[in-house]
């Protein structure tokens, strides 16, 4: 079992480039299946979830070259019957294959996707919307059986602005007859990035970044090259790490509008935020202030993917902070690990009340999911003494090389074997 060994108490300082976005790259990789040709994706992060998606593409016959941060996909010929069930079962984002696969091949059998157990995350929204487009769906033997005689452009009103469902419908709409309208669409920057990629391939798409997206189907597609946006969640993680350690760092090529809500919270905690010519600079106060009534919401609200990391930082803030989790019911599991380090956190239903303590103490903790693992890394950087974060594989699903990045900023962190192993 891989783990991180962290010696806490060092303030972060310096400059850092942030790698490409996990949540943007994965739907773009899936969308490459729409085109009978070659796609080049630049800025693609070398993380486990991308590696799993690459193995899925190879299993169905795609030619894939991955060098540095450049991913080249040749999807000229594919056979969905050979899809890697093992890789599908490892990642939630495999559900994003449905829209593109059905648009191109009209038939697909997909095992239920895996990934972090942070909540129910039902796929019903995806399936019911695809049914409206003319897909017959049957769920049996632990798999989703989908078939269509042809997709039809329709007006779909999502019951919730699901990012994944919005992205699946955008890909399906590209191959549908007529125009597909998505009402109550997700407005996340990653949705806009997918729209940018689809446009680069030749898809006519309107309204991305708003709650109403239109896709003109049956456009003529062509080879495309596209650069993935910077990962706003990774950027937010490093900003919070600097805040929690009393540091000062500059993150390069990060869009302020993508993390505006987090920057506002950092200022409320007492940090100084400044936009530079190349990115964002944060300078932390010696001890941060508590913040009340933080609610996780779809973009442009505070993202659920940053909630655990913020909780870790607020664990030593002066006063009482309150976080409400409205999206994934199991996000608070990390609180129990933070409590082992001395944090004073009470959980009741979807509310976490955090009473700031003077300091955290290093100890053995275990990551339960991707963002919770990143939160424990931050806590370890803040803590007195050494911390071992077990199950680092969760973190590697979304952070290209967190040890290298944090070391560059002055942290003392490295991979190690679990000391409890023989």
SS3 75: coil
**Interval 223-249 mean pLDDT:** 97
* Residues in Cβ contact with 388 at an 8 Å cutoff, skipping those fewer than 6 apart: 3, 4, 5, 6, 363, 364, 365, 416, 418, 419
Domain's final residue, options 202, 227, 252? 227
- The answer to whether residues 140 and 272 belong to one domain is no
Domain-embedded: residue 422? no
Peptide bond into 68 cis (omega under 30): no
Domain-embedded: residue 386? yes
- The answer to whether residues 54 and 194 belong to one domain is yes
Q: Would you mind telling me the total number of residues written for the chain in this entry?
A: 422
**Interval 197-207 mean pLDDT:** 97
Q: How many domains does the chain have?
A: 2
Q: How far apart are CA 231 and CA 208, in angstroms?
A: 18
Q: At 215, phi and psi to the nearest 5? A: -130, 120
Q: What's the pLDDT tens digit per position in 11-33? A: 999 999 999 999 999 999 999 99
Q: How far apart are CA 61 and CA 78, in angstroms?
A: 5
Q: What's the pLDDT tens digit per position in 267-314? A: 999 999 999 999 999 999 878 999 989 999 999 999 999 999 999 999
Domain-embedded: residue 143? yes
Q: At 230, phi and psi to the nearest 5? A: -65, 145
Q: Find out whether 226 and 40 touch, Cβ atoms under 8 Å.
A: yes
- The answer to whether residues 301 and 397 belong to one domain is yes
Domain's final residue, options 190, 212, 227? 227
* Residues in Cβ contact with 140 at an 8 Å cutoff, skipping those fewer than 6 apart: none
pLDDT band at 140 (very low <50, low <70, confident <90, very high): confident
Q: How far apart are CA 327 and CA 325, in angstroms?
A: 6
Considering the entire predicted model, what is its pTM?
0.93
CA separation, residue 392 to residues 119, 257, 367, 371 (Å): 20, 30, 7, 11
Half-sphere exposure of 227 (CA within 13 A, CB side): 5
Q: What is the CA angle 330-336-304, rounded to 5?
A: 35
Q: Find out whether 369 and 118 touch, Cβ atoms under 8 Å.
A: yes
- The answer to whether residues 259 and 332 belong to one domain is yes
The DSSP code for 273 is E
Q: Which residues of 24-46 are buried (b: 16+ CB within 10 A; e: fewer)?
A: bbbbbbbbbbbbeebbbbebbbe
Q: Residues 62, 116, 266, 271: which is the catalytic one? A: 116
419 pLDDT exceeds 70? no
For residue 390 the two structure tokens come to 């077990």
Domain's final residue, options 227, 259, 291? 227
Domain-embedded: residue 87? yes
Radius of gyration in angstroms for the set of CA atoms belonging to the chain, rounded to a whole number: 21
Q: What's the pLDDT tens digit per position in 58-110? A: 999 999 999 999 999 999 999 998 888 888 877 778 899 999 999 999 999 98
> Does the annotation mark 116 as catalytic?
yes
Q: How far apart are CA 405 and CA 16, in angstroms?
A: 7
**Interval 245-270 mean pLDDT:** 96
Domain encompassing residue 288: 2-18+230-417
Domain with residue 237: its CATH number is 3.65.10.10
- The answer to whether residues 270 and 406 belong to one domain is yes
**Interval 144-157 mean pLDDT:** 95
420 pLDDT exceeds 60? no
């Amino acid at each position: 079992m891989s783990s991180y060994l962290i010696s806490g108490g060092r303030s972060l300082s310096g400059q850092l480039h942030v790698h490409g976005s996990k949540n943007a790259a994965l739907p773009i990789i899936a969308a490459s299946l729409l085109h009978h040709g070659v796609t080049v994706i630049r800025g693609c992060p070398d993380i486990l979830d991308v590696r799993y998606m690459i193995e899925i593409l190879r299993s169905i016959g795609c030619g894939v070259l991955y060098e540095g941060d450049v991913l080249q996909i040749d999807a000229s010929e594919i056979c969905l019957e050979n899809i890697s069930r093992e890789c599908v079962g490892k990642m939630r984002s495999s559900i994003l294959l449905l829209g593109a696969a059905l648009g191109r091949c009209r038939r697909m059998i997909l095992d239920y996707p895996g990934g972090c157990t942070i909540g129910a995350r039902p796929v019903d929204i995806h399936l019911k919307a695809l049914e409206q487009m003319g897909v017959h769906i049957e769920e049996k033997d632990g798999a989703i059986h989908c078939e269509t005689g042809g997709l039809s452009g329709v007006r779909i009103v999502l019951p919730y602005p699901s990012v994944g469902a919005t992205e699946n419908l955008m890909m399906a709409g590209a191959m549908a007859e007529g125009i597909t309208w998505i009402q109550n669409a997700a407005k996340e920057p990653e949705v806009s990035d997918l729209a940018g990629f689809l446009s680069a391939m030749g898809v006519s798409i309107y309204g991305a970044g708003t709650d109403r997206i239109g896709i003109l189907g049956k456009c003529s597609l062509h080879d495309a090259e596209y650069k993935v946006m910077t990962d706003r969640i990774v950027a937010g993680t490093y900003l919070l790490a600097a805040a929690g350690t009393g540091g000062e760092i500059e993150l390069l090529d990060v869009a302020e509008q993508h993390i505006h809500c987090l920057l506002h919270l950092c200022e409320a905690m007492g940090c100084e935020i400044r936009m530079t010519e190349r990115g964002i600079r944060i300078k932390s106060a010696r001890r941060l202030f508590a913040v009340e009534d933080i609610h996780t919401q779809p973009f442009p609200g505070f993202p659920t993917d940053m909630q655990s990391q913020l909780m870790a930082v607020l664990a030593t803030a002066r006063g009482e902070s309150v976080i409400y989790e409205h999206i994934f019911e199991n996000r608070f599991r990390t609180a129990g690990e933070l409590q082992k380090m001395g944090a004073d956190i009470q959980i009741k239903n979807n509310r976490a009340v955090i009473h700031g303590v003077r300091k955290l103490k290093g100890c053995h903790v275990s990551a339960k999911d991707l963002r919770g693992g990143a939160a424990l890394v931050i806590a370890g950087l803040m803590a007195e003494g050494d911390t071992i974060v077990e199950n680092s594989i969760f973190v590697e699903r979304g952070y290209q090389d967190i040890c290298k990045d944090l070391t560059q900023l002055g942290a003392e962190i490295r991979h190690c074997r679990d000391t409890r192993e023989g």
